[in-house]
C-alpha cells in the first residue's frame, strides 16, 4: 500500500511539473509601449498583461511630412495672425515634393522642438529660439518624403515665428502624423486631382480585423492565415471547402506587407523564448 501511495505521489509531482513547464508566456509581461518599424513606415502601440498575453494592439501607418500637409483639409493657407506681417507658408521647391502646386508651412514644431524649412535640402531643420538653424550632427532634420517617428501622444503642429510675440513661436494648428489620426489611407491622388492612382481600401476596418486576429491567436502566422480565409477548423480532406477560400481582406499580403513585417518586428522585440534547455544533437547520441 505504501509503495502504491508513493508511486501515486510521484505521478502527481511529475504531472504538476509538466503542467507548469508547459505554461510558457508568449510575450514579456507588463509591457506598455510603442514600436516604430525599422523602415520608419509603421507605428504600433501595444500592451501585455501580467500573464504575458498581448491585450492591446493598434497598428497605424505613419504619414510622410508632405502627406501630413497635403491630405489635411483643415489647414487654412490664408490664415492671418494678428500683428504678424511675414509669410506663414512657402513653396517647397519644384523637385522637393511629389505633389504639384503645394504650399508648406515655414515652421513646424514636434513636441517642444522647432524646425524651419530649407528649400535647398528639401527638409525641415532644427532651429533655436531665434529661428536660426542649428549646426552639428545632433540637430534633427526631416525631409518632406520622410515620416516623423514619434508617439501619437507627441504633438506635431504648424507654428509661426513672431519676434514681437512673448513666446516667439505661435501655435497655429496641429498636424496629425498617422493615417488613423488624420483619417485617410495613404494612397496617391492623380495629377488631375479627380481620382486616385490605386485601389482605395478601408484602412481602419482592415487593421481592426488584423489586430483582433493577432489578439485571438497571440501570434502572426495563424492570424494571417485566417485573414486569407484559411480557417483552422477546415478539414484538410474536405476539398469542397478548400476550393471556396474567401479572404477576409482582399490583397491583404500585398497591400499590408509593411504592417505584417512590423508585427514580426514587434514579436521579435517582446517575444519570450522558452527557457527549456535545448540538448545539442551530438549530446543526444551519448
Tens digit of each residue's pLDDT (9 = 90 or more) over 84-142: 999 999 999 989 998 888 999 999 999 999 999 999 999 999 999 999 999 887 899 99
How far apart CA 187 and CA 264 sit, in angstroms, is 24
* Residue 262: per-residue pLDDT: 98
* Residue 174: per-residue pLDDT: 97
Cα angle at 13 between 9 and 18, to 5 degrees?
145
Tens digit of each residue's pLDDT (9 = 90 or more) over 193-223: 666 666 667 899 999 999 999 999 999 999 9
Which of the four pLDDT bands, split at 50, 70 and 90, describes residue 3? very low
* Residue 281: per-residue pLDDT: 53
- Mean of all residue pLDDT scores within the chain: 84
Measured from the Cβ of residue 244, the count of other Cβ atoms closer than 10 Å reads 8
Buried b (16+ CB within 10 A) or exposed e, 193-208: eeeeeeeebebeebbe
Helices (H), 83-192: 179-182
How far apart CA 54 and CA 104 sit, in angstroms, is 40
Which of 27-31, 272-276, 279-283 shows the highest mean pLDDT? 27-31
Helices (H), 95-143: none
How far apart CA 201 and CA 121 sit, in angstroms, is 34
pLDDT over threshold 60, residue 239: no
pLDDT over threshold 50, residue 21: no
Amino acid at each position: 500500500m505504501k509503495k502504491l501511495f508513493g508511486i501515486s505521489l510521484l505521478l502527481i509531482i511529475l504531472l504538476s511539473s509538466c503542467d507548469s513547464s508547459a505554461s510558457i508566456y508568449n510575450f514579456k509581461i507588463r509591457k506598455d509601449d510603442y514600436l516604430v518599424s525599422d523602415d520608419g513606415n509603421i507605428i504600433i502601440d501595444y500592451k501585455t498583461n501580467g500573464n504575458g498575453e498581448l491585450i492591446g494592439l493598434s497598428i497605424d501607418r505613419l504619414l510622410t511630412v508632405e502627406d501630413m500637409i497635403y491630405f489635411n483639409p483643415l489647414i487654412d493657407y490664408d490664415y492671418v495672425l494678428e500683428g504678424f506681417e511675414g509669410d506663414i507658408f512657402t513653396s517647397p521647391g519644384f523637385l522637393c515634393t511629389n505633389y504639384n502646386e503645394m504650399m508648406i508651412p515655414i515652421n513646424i514644431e514636434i513636441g517642444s522642438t522647432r524646425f524651419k524649412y530649407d528649400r535647398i535640402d528639401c527638409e525641415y531643420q532644427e532651429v533655436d529660439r531665434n529661428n536660426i538653424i542649428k549646426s552639428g550632427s545632433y540637430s534633427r532634420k526631416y525631409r518632406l518624403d520622410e515620416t516623423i517617428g514619434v508617439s501619437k501622444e507627441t504633438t506635431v503642429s504648424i507654428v509661426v515665428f513672431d519676434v514681437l510675440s512673448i513666446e516667439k513661436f505661435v501655435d497655429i494648428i496641429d498636424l496629425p502624423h498617422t493615417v488613423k489620426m488624420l483619417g485617410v489611407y495613404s494612397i496617391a491622388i492623380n495629377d488631375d486631382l479627380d481620382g486616385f492612382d490605386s485601389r482605395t481600401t478601408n484602412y481602419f476596418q482592415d487593421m481592426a480585423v488584423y489586430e483582433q486576429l493577432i489578439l485571438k491567436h497571440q501570434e502572426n502566422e495563424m492570424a494571417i492565415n485566417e485573414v486569407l480565409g484559411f480557417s483552422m477548423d477546415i478539414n484538410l480532406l474536405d476539398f469542397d471547402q478548400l476550393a471556396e477560400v474567401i479572404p477576409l481582406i482582399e490583397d491583404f499580403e500585398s497591400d499590408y506587407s509593411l504592417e505584417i513585417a512590423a508585427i514580426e518586428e514587434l514579436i521579435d522585440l517582446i517575444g519570450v523564448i522558452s527557457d527549456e534547455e535545448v540538448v545539442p544533437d551530438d549530446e543526444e547520441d551519448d
